Structure 1
Amino acid sequence: MKPLPVSLYTGDVGHMRHHPRRHSLRYRMVSLLTDIDGTARNDRGIAGFAFDRFAPVSQHAADHGRGHGALRDWVRSRLQQNGIDFEPGRIQLLAAPRVLGIVFNPVSVYFCHRADDRLGAVLFEVANFHGGRQVYAFDVPDDTATPLRFACEKTFFVSPFNPVEGEYRFRLDRDEDTLRLGIRHYRDGTCIMGAILQAERQALTTRSLWKAQLAQPLNTLATVGGILFEALRLRLKGLRTYAPRRGSTDTLPRGL
């Protein structure tokens, strides 16, 4: 996977809960793939869009990582913390943008490329409704493998209907036109639930941006509203709920 030009992705997110009750949820999603710094982080010529300043649609580095300081330094420290030893070149971030200043990203993906543009690592930044964020980092020894597959222990509270315990399995496939990201949560060898994003890529231009916004005018609010409505339905189905661990990364993004 080589770095791509600044891009807009439109597609569908599907959730399927398998245990202890079957339940599904689907919603539309608009995301951006952009460099986190450098000359490619250029918003000139895209009306109504900006990096790191207010605009009807914008992307802010402060919405990720520690929420302050250079995002590259934070990514580098996360790589080192996970034993991934290379100096990243271009780092690209796939995330939903702010719309009228509002944003919520359940999962953001960092593509960390080597100096020769080969993909060297992938980071998944997971957020919850309690203000917490956690990162799962993986090295990519062979960037020609298709799809990329990763697995790790689940260490972070996300859904009130699942305890922290379990295992995540990630499946990531991306070419120049499409992206497919699947995440499954296993516990005691059983798949509890899964989520999948299937999206199509196009260049980020004034036309493509506003076409996407007209089709999905309240990107973040629609996502959050849909998740909360489905949570109510699950509660009515009698699912047990769990609380986040206070004082941990479940509620403290600065702990990253």
Structure 2
Amino acid sequence: MRPVPALYEATVRHVRVEPVRNSFAYDTYYWFVDLDDLPRPPLPLRLLAGFRAADHGPAAGGSPARSLRAAIDAYLADHGVDLEGGRVLMLAHARVLGHVFNPLTVYWCHHRDGSLSRVVAEVHNTYGQRHRYLLEVDGRGRARTDKALFVSPFNEVDGHYRISLPEPGDRLALTIALHREGRPPFTASVRGVRRPATAASLLLRALRHPLTPLVGALRIRIQGIGLHLRGLPVLPRPDGPPPRTTERKATRS
């Protein structure tokens, strides 16, 4: 297993094929960290790499004092999963100058012997809501799960996701495709290259992609405005919290 922490310089791409065609991409960077050993850069750079449990998990509930590791262990225990102290690796944006937004956070949860137990895909929308999907993936990191969270104002909460979340190595390659009636109207992907998590490397990434979490959220909103101007109606957001998602094993496409 490669050492962590690490940085991934990446390109995020969204492709919509119906009811109108639209695609956009932007460059960013992610942290890949061990929840038992979160990075602490030199003091001047800590404003570029903050990790708080309150930035993840359900938007409401839970103790603010609970660590990221304790929070994910509690979530897994809620679903009958015990890692027995195994490693949990997380891919996410860090808090930068007080700002953070993670459309997708991924946790690779390992047994004590190092084998992969589960993958947790945590989705955040621009309305401040969050939802976790508990996945039992196949050997290539693939799984399928029903959609449960209202993410886009142009997509109902229906259909299912076909997900590919292999644990990153030298390269990062994640894909989430929404499927309805056998076809994918929307696909999001993240492709990246591993970089060292040194102070110099972090500073370089931050200079190349300033305020990356805030800029990513802004780009998503700008694209939404553009789609609405092209005639896509805005759907009402469902009331109440998203339903609890049960664990889904990987299925063949």
Measured against the shorter chain, the TM-score band is: 0.7 to 0.9
Structure-1 separation of matches of 2:35 and 2:5: 11
Match of 2:142, SS? Answer: strand
RMSD: 2.0
Gaps of 5+ in 2: 244-253
TM-fit CA distance, 1:25: 1.0
The 3 A distance-change label for structure 1 pair 59 and 85 is closer
Gaps of 5+ in 1: 251-256
Structure-2 separation of matches of 1:230 and 1:175: 28
Whether 2:64 is the aligned partner of 1:64: answer: no
Corresponding residue for residue 112 of structure 1: 109
Structure-2 separation of matches of 1:105 and 1:179: 16
Match of 2:164, SS? Answer: strand
Corresponding residue for residue 14 of structure 2: 15
Among the aligned pairs, what percent are the same residue? Answer: 35
Q: What TM-score results when the alignment is normalised by the length of structure 2?
A: 0.87
Q: How does 1:158-173 map to 2 (within 5 A)?
A: 158-173=151-166
Structure-2 separation of matches of 1:36 and 1:180: 21
The 3 A distance-change label for structure 1 pair 225 and 152 is same
Instruction: Provide, for residues 34-87 of structure 1, a one-character-per-residue CA deviation record: whole Å limited to 9, x for no partner.
Output: 1223xx22415x45344xxxx243222221124622333332343344454543
Structure-1 separation of matches of 2:20 and 2:106: 29
Corresponding residue for residue 191 of structure 1: 184
Q: How does 1:18-97 map to 2 (within 5 A)?
A: 18-37=17-36, 40-43=37-40, 46-50=42-46, 55-66=47-58, 68=64, 69-84=66-81, 86-97=83-94
TM-fit CA distance, 1:138: 1.2
Contact 2:33 2:39 in 1 (8 A): no
Q: What TM-score results when the alignment is normalised by the length of structure 1?
A: 0.86
Instruction: Provide, for residues 160-200 of structure 1, a one-character-per-residue CA deviation record: whole Å limited to 9, x for no partner.
Output: 01011110111123453111000000112221100000011
TM-fit CA distance, 1:111: 1.0
Contact 1:88 1:112 in 2 (8 A): no
Contact 1:153 1:167 in 2 (8 A): yes
